[in-house]
Amino acid sequence: LKLCENIPKVELHAHLNGSVRPQTIKDILDERSRAGEALGVTEQQLADITVGGERSLRDCFRLFDVIHAVTTTHAAISRIAAEVVRDFAADRVVYLELRTTPKARPEYGMTKESYTEAVLDGIDAALRQLRAVPPRAASQQQLLLAAQAQAVGGPGASGPGAGAGAGAGASGAQGADGVGVTSPSHEQLVAASEGVVLSPRAGQRTTAAGGGLHASSSGAAAAAETAAAGSEGAQGPRPGPGPGLESGLESGLESGLETAPHLIIVKLLLSIDRREDAAAAMETVQLAARLQSRGVVGVDLSGNPYVGSWAQWQGALAAARGAGLRVTLHAGEVVAPEEVRAMLAWRPERLGHCCCLDAELAAQLKASAIPLELCLTSNVLTQSVPSYPEHHFAELYAAGHPVVLCTDDSGVFGTTLSREYAIAAAAFKLPVSALHELARRSLEYTFASETEKAQLRRLMERELAALE
Ligand code: 5GP
């Protein structure tokens, strides 16, 4: 697991509300009940979120409904988005494509647009914080160490511990907030102590908080800021009661300064829920098209696979394509050969899952070469595949099909991307060099711009070379 935590990774399939920290849901519920609000969520339902472990796909969707029942304010949505970004950054994810379903909830004064903007605000706040940890968070000792490191490495120094310097080359849609990467040395990374386990871990998620001191190419101030981030990072997400909702996002950010040793590029996909009809799906696509300048790069089709039918979203998905958005589809989570056939024929840019394909569809998938987002723990816990070693990753990987390891719902399934890499290594007997190659190739299947990909390629090559 330690080796996997050090790998710069790419996450392409992470649902925002499935990646929520269980503690955050508890915090929000506590806060609301203190304010005398009844959200209609029982103790048992709350326990289900925090206990983790095996649950059927149907149970998972009931759980998402509970999470959605709790997350009804813009402040809560922004807080969750900010925390999720920081958690992925702490797990050494250098590129994150987060996805979420825009929700219109007039009873809470929320439109699809205001919901999505709250998500984007949370992402932006986390990126700002990752780029500039408040100096007051650094102790005198950390500032001294940062200054020493800066004196040794100096601006623009190369090698482990020096900044990668990608911060200046900002991603188009997000401006300077989108990119900013520094690379700590191997020793500076704080690794979690658990080993690789093949049985899914029930309970809380692993937090692979990074930490440590390093000089950054932007000079002493940044080095000091990063030292502060490193110091906080070693602590991981703060346990215990979090900030109240009234105190809002900034307070949430300050209370959980488990910042990563590096920053990441984050993009957003807007999900069409399979419960939505053609008009609702079109509304989401139009919103995604409008918000491209804020880092929305694509559209996803997800939600309960037992609900809805492909034809009802095709118009919206075609419109997404017409607007220059990329499309990824959840496919084959349950046995639905006609739908999977239609999806393959439509040729989305990526597919997710594809667990329940017969031999003919599996052959069609391979022939299509459509990159596949694979979520090992999610698929095993929801019993979509019987066990890790039997996961279709093995066959597709052996066939050279483009595959990307992803978390799906890291909060709900108690996992991290590093852990998914470690599980793949153990289950499929992959050497570290193969994991590095997986991470490298994942980058090619992102919906990032070519400029961003080039920046990330340089960063990953440098970091992987240091590990090899
Ligand atoms: P949100 O879109 O609210 O940020 O994230 C939770 C939602 O993502 C769920 O309500 C569901 O629609 C979708 N989702 C999360 N995990 C899965 C999954 O494994 N399969 C499918 N089909 N949808 C999922």
Scan for tokens 């909702």, then name that residue. Answer: 245
Q: Which one of 19, 64, 115, 379 would you pick to mutate in the ligand 1 pocket, going by the greatest count of ligand atoms within 8 A of its CB?
A: 64
Q: Quick one: pLDDT at residue 52?
A: 65
Query: What's the full length of the chain, in residues?
Result: 468
Q: Distance between CA atoms of 405 and 435, rounded to whole angstroms?
A: 10
Q: What is the pLDDT of residues 117-143, one digit of tens each?
A: 999 999 999 999 998 754 334 333 343
Whole-number Å distance, alpha carbon 437 to ligand 1 midpoint, is 28
Atom of ligand 1 nearest to the CA of 274: 12
Residue extents of the structural domains in the chain: 2-130+262-467, 131-255
Closest protein CA for atom 5 of ligand 1: 17
- At 53 the pLDDT is 67
* Nearest Cα residue to 467 out of 10, 13, 12, 92: 92
Q: Pick from 78, 96, 270, 271 the residue to mutate for probing ligand 1's pocket: most ligand atoms within 8 Å of its CB.
A: 271
Residues 459/180, Cβ–Cβ less than 8 Å: no
Catalytic residue ranges: 333
CA-nearest residue, atom 11 of ligand 1: 303
Cα torsion at 433, 329, 304, 393 (round to 10°)?
-30
Residue 407's nearest CA partner among 380, 370, 440 is: 380
Which tokens in the block code for residue 101? 């379903």
Shortest-distance Cα residue to atom 14 of ligand 1: 303
d(CA 147, CA 214): 10
Alpha-carbon distance 353 to 441, whole Å?
18
Question: What atom of ligand 1 comes closest to residue 68's alpha carbon?
Answer: 3
Please identify every stretch of the chain with a pLDDT value under 70, giving residue numbers as ranges: 50-53, 133-262
List pocket residues of ligand 1, CB cut-off 6 Å.
Answer: 15-18, 64, 100-101, 271, 273, 302-303, 305, 330, 333, 378, 408-409
The pLDDT value given to residue 49: 72
**Crossing angle for the helix pair 112-131 and 74-90, to the nearest 10 degrees:** 40
| Residue that is written with structure tokens 């649902």 in the block | 15
**pLDDT value for 411:** 92
CATH for 2-130+262-467, options being 3.20.20.140, 3.30.420.40, 3.30.930.10, 3.40.1010.20: 3.20.20.140
Q: Are 119 and 81 a contacting pair, CB within 8 Å?
A: yes
Dihedral through CA 209, CA 212, CA 217, CA 223, nearest 10? Answer: 110
User: Measured in angstroms, how far is the CA atom of residue 58 from the centroid of ligand 1?
Assistant: 11
Q: Residue 231 Cα, ligand 1 centroid: separation in angstroms? A: 34
Positive or negative CA dihedral for 389, 395, 399, 403? negative
Taking the centre of ligand 1 as the mean of its atom positions, its distance from the CA of residue 18, in whole angstroms, is 7
CA distance 89 to 184: 13
Ligand 1 centroid, distance to 328 Cα (angstroms): 13
Q: What is the per-residue burial (b if ≥16 Cβ within 10 Å, else e) of 30-39?
A: ebbeeeeeee
